[in-house]
Structure 1
Amino acid sequence: MTFPLGTRIALALGAAGLLLASLPARAWQADNGDGSYTNPPLYADYPDPDVIRVGEDFYFATTTFANSPGLRILQSRDLVNWRIAGHVLPRLEGGPAFDLQGGSVYRRGVFAPSLRFHDGEFVLAFTMVGQNTRICRAVQVAGPWRCHALDRAAFDPALFFDTDGSAYIATSVGSDGTVTLLSLDKSLTHVTEARKIHYIPGAEGSKLVRRGDWYYLFNAVPRRLAMTISRARALTGPWETINAIDSATSGGHQGAIVDLADGRWWGFVMQDRPSIGRITNFSPIFWRDDWPVWGTPDAPGRVPARVTKPVQGQPPAQPDTSDEFDRATLGLQWAWNHNPDDSRWSLTERPGWLRLNATRADGFWTARNTLTQKGQGPYSRADVKLDLSGLAAGDRCGLGTLGKVNAGIAAVRAPDGTLRLERHTLIDNGDRQAATVVPGPSAALDGNDVTLRLEMDFERAQGRLSWQDGATWKPLGDAFDLVYDWRTGTFQGPQYALFCFNTTKDSPAGHVDVDWFRFTDRR
């Protein structure tokens, strides 16, 4: 039987709604199941976005700082439903601090990648703090990627290929605002010319896009939490600039636009949130006198809260969260706090479990092999089941947050062999100030198995930690603040963290086995 087009669309939307209702609770679902979505598509800290389209697929590259693997890329068919496609950097390079040896690189590391597709390859430019800009290339977005360094550092590089194949990088830094255009040779290995082309006070986060005869330059102005748009008929200018949107009133600051297969354009923009970090909103745009305008003609100049999906017919999707640790590799949702010591963790020593061998550390902030994934809003919760039978005296292993406020429950084995849970709270005050340590309560354990819980409520900007005693969940300590602060902490929103370290130098370290990590967005 053949149904009329309207009936077929209604049936398809109804089926999508039923599918959405039947999905297990994993994370914020922006797809409303009726052909619309609610911003943000990813309710988590995905900062410094760059988004491109290749055929029917969209790709989203984002900053990952010190997390390893680095430079996460996501994939979508509709700009709403995203999956993690992979990471560009299996490990971070640049010195022992990336291995948490002799210091740390929290708040540093990988910033503001720029992703393009050229001559059948994905091409990505990024700059690590204190290092020269690197260009990476891959045939498949999941890799493998091959990378090389240029002879200079381009802050927040905007990689661009013109219609004749010529390659460029636009760059500006917020402490100044001068936009410099770097010309690259065909091999993308050398800068052949550097030319100042524009000036916007405080501008950074440059992105270059061409539409027809116009070149468009998008810049964030962090001091105003605003975005500017500039345009010119030639890359060298002259450029004219307008203010676009801002984070406080209309949607965000750093971002740009991406074309759809049918010729329309859509916008993406980063917005600072005080508890969860920097989220990325997606918005329709329309054109007025060859200027892109965020929003719709009925509500111009702002990102809509709810809007029709740009591409219809795609099923709901989210990045993975829960993990039973029954695979030979870690899920793509996971990242270590720095490069891990691969001899100190395993998914094979005890199949079906994640084993974390305690690493030597002075405390939580300097502990290597802390395994993280993003906290997700508006509310999320994770339960973790642990087997503590392998803990040695002095081991501190458990579940907590990694960020500005680092709160956790650690299982600790005393010298007499008894086990207890201890609450800790460490508040990072920056590189030049001592961290604030808040002592917490403890609870005795009478067995080797325990289930811990961490709740993140970003609407209330509070987190809670508890443990399961029989059938009863018991809080351990008071609620704590969920805080995003670019000047302190990790420069990221709060992350879930599985940790295992030992501060005792003269005793052998043990291990903790993690049976599962189960995530939900249901209260």
Structure 2
Amino acid sequence: MAFSAEPWVADLGNGTYKNPILHADYSDPDVVRVGDDYWMTSSSFSHVPALPILHSKDLVNWQLVTHALPRLVPEAGFVTPQHGKGVWAPAIRHHAGKFWIYYPDPDYGIYVITAKDPAGKWSEPVLVKGGRGLIDPCPLWDDDGRVYLIHGWAKSRAMVGNVLTLLELNAEGTTVIDDFGYVINGDKLPNYRTLEGPKFLKRDGWYYVFAPAGGVKPGWQSVFRAKSIRGPYEDRIVLAQGKSPVNGPHQGALVDTPKGEEWFIHFQDKDAYGRIVHLQPVTWKDGWPLMGTGVTSGEKTGEPVLVHKKPALPAQPIAVPPTSDDFAAKKLGLQWQWQANPGKHWYSLTEKSGSLRLFAQPETVPGNLYDAPYLLMQKFPALEFSATTVLDASGGAAQAGLIVFGFDYAWVGVRDGRLVQVTVDKASEKPKANYVTAEALTGKVHLRVEVRDGGKCRFSYSLDGKTFTPLGAEFTANVGRWVGAKVGIFAAGASGHADFEEFIVGQ
């Protein structure tokens, strides 16, 4: 099946790119270069599979190639949605011939997984340090062979924040052998708050910690340096919004090219669109990085660029993470995630050829899908896009349809044999539901949502796939807990199933 044009392409085709390079919720991105290949991972919170792995050869065109964590651990802790919990900001590195990801779960501790091939199977998670509130770990293998780990703190769990702690690990990088305490204390720095997301590196005899502060939306990117790994560290704000439209340029990764160029990948919190990914040029002066507009202006604190010359790397074909799916494969596409660890018999790609069959699952709370683990969804992929699916609800599911999900959510589809549009406000609190009923339905129905700037959503349906009729009022997509809105499909009820023939995302 020929899918429609991709809704967001950062490569402008003329040797330049536009930011964001990924207009999708790849929160807290970290990247490592190995040879000519770049590998990215990001937070995934309570969505499953977790820890996406993306690949690029030019830092602009990215493909989603796998997930490093097929299921969340501990298994029993993620049977139901744990909004805002799960996998927080990870770090990906390459050392001793293998890839390493250190990732935090703020309720359990810091884990490590490894792989020879980042696009292949990763090891089972090993708990490096248990405890509540430990977040944002990043390792450093020093020149003398010692292994260090720096991490932040979630004040919501640990009652402490705005500080970074330094640990020493064993040679295998799997357990803590020494705790040096706070190596950087934001409370002792003027105007610092919510210091977090550290990335650790060593360069020209200096230890550097790249870390954002000031909060996700209004904050900035700082760099700290010291001659001793334990400090004292001096600091500089190297990237801030300034007069640009890119608020809170936030944590990410410093990477280089084989020819010596350097770049910084970071995120911007864009409300319903989530934490989208930007690419900034970097040069160094007097032992400090200049980023964004600072590269040309020489300003110590640069601003994010919107359009820039691409990295000096071999030309690559246009690539974006997948969105559309014709359900012809034997496995679910990589774009799809559940709200919790999925059950064994939630879906089938073989029961009806060319269709995804979702087996209806009981509502966790009657009339409210907020805590339903069986919602199958993907990230918003662009500023503006449409998503269209074909639903056959003759399998007896009490309700099934196309959903846009967050703290508020809305869906269009079939409920007890009738075509409906449902909006639920404040789904995590005391939900207020609004139902718009159309007509009794038999056979297939085409369902569509059109998303416009600001997350404005308009649902419609068609019985012939050509003429679409709006249903219900405009809905404004809302964020979830630390994540952007998502779009997807579901089937709910005591029994039965629903079949979806395709899911087409376009401009």
- Counterpart selection for 1:137 from 109, 114, 117: 114
One-letter code of the match for 2:459?
Answer: L
Letter aligned with residue 216 of structure 1: Y
CA deviation after TM superposition for structure 1 residue 151, in Å: 3.2
Cα offset for 1:499? Answer: 0.7
* TM-score, normalization by structure 1: 0.87
Query: Among 476, 485, 495, which residue is 1:494 paired with?
Result: 485
Contact 2:210–2:221 (CA under 8 A) maintained in structure 1 = yes
Distance 1:239 1:446, change over 3 A: closer
2:264 pairs with one of 253, 267, 271: 267
Alignment of 1:96-495 (within 5 A): 96-100=76-80, 104-146=81-123, 147-153=125-131, 154-173=134-153, 175=155, 176-195=161-180, 196-201=182-187, 202-223=194-215, 224-247=218-241, 249-250=243-244, 251=246, 252-296=249-293, 297-299=295-297, 300=299, 301-310=302-311, 311-361=313-363, 362=365, 363-392=368-397, 395-413=398-416, 419-428=417-426, 430=428, 433-435=429-431, 437-457=432-452, 459-470=453-464, 471-484=466-479, 489-495=480-486
Alignment CA distance shift 1:137-1:454 (3 Å): same
Deviations 1:77-109 (A, max 9, x none): 011000012111111122545111xxx301111
Cα 1:272–1:368 change in 2 (3 A) is closer
Superposition pairs for residues 75-86 of structure 1, below 5 Å? 75-86=55-66
1:403–1:491 contact (8 Å) kept in structure 2 = no
| Identity within the alignment, % | 34
Q: Which runs of 5+ in 1 are unaligned?
A: 1-21, 414-418, 503-507
User: Aligned partners of 2:151, 2:21: CA distance in 1, in Å?
Assistant: 28
Q: What is the one-letter code of the residue matched to 1:443? A: A
Q: 1:245 and 1:478 mapped to 2: Cα distance?
A: 41
Query: Using the alignment, how far apart are the partners of 1:107 and 1:193 within structure 2?
Result: 30
Cα deviation, 1:60-91, whole Å, max 9, x if unaligned, reads: 11011111111111110011000012111111
Are positions 1:64 and 2:50 aligned together?
A: no
Q: Matches of 2:252 and 2:243 in 1, distance apart?
A: 16
Query: How many Å separate the matches in 1 of 2:126 and 2:24?
Result: 31
Alignment of 1:41-56 (within 5 A): 41-56=21-36
Counterpart AA for 1:339: N
* Aligned Cα root-mean-square deviation (Å): 1.9
Q: How far does residue 24 in structure 1 lie from its aligned partner after superposition?
A: 4.8
Aligned to 2:158: none
- CA drift at 1:376: 1.9
Distance 1:37 1:380 in 2: 20
Instruction: Check 1:46–1:129 CA distance in 2 against 1; reply closer, same or farther (3 A cut).
Output: same
2:336–2:378 CA contact under 8 A, matched in 1? yes
Q: Could you tell me which residue of structure 2 aligns to residue 512 of structure 1?
A: 498
Q: Return the offset for 1:213.
A: 1.6
Cα-to-partner distance string for 1:402-434 (whole Å, 9 max, x where unaligned): 212211013123xxxxx211211123365xx32
Q: Distance in 2 between matches of 1:54 and 1:135?
A: 19
Structure-2 separation of matches of 1:452 and 1:178: 48
Deviation at 1:249? Answer: 4.4
Counterpart secondary structure, 2:129: coil
Task: Work out the CA distance in 1 between the residues paired with 2:354 and 2:463.
Answer: 24
Cα deviation code 1:220-249 (max 9, x no counterpart):
214351221101122111210011223564
Shift of 1:260: 1.4
Task: Look up the match of 1:3.
Answer: none
Stretch deviating more after TM superposition (265-274 or 463-472): 463-472
Q: Specify whether residues 222 and 482 from structure 1 end up closer, same or farther in structure 2 by C-alpha distance, changes over 3 A only.
A: farther
Moved more, 279-288 or 75-84: 279-288
Residue range with higher mean Cα deviation, 161-170 or 129-138: 161-170
Which range moved further: 168-177 or 230-239?
168-177
CA shift for structure 1 position 288: 1.8
SS at match of 2:135: coil
CA distance in 2 between partners of 1:391 and 1:173 (Å): 48
Q: Is the 8 A contact 1:247 1:271 kept in 2?
A: no
Aligned equivalents of 2:4, 2:377: Cα separation in 1: 22
Segments of 5+ residues of structure 2 without an aligned counterpart are 156-160, 188-193
CA positional deviation for 1:274: 2.5
Equivalent residue of 2:373, what SS? coil
421-430 or 289-298: bigger deviation: 421-430
One-letter amino acid matched to 1:496? V
TM-score by structure 2 length?
0.90
Q: Is the contact between residue 404 and residue 427 of structure 1 (CA under 8 Å) also seen in structure 2?
A: yes
The alignment partner of 1:275 has SS state of helix
Q: Distance in 2 between matches of 1:74 and 1:165?
A: 29
Distance 2:257 2:358 in 1: 44
Structure 1 range deviating more: 440-449 or 344-353: 440-449
More deviation, 41-50/311-320: 311-320
Quickly say closer, same or farther: Cα 1:249–1:172, change in 2 above 3 A.
Answer: farther
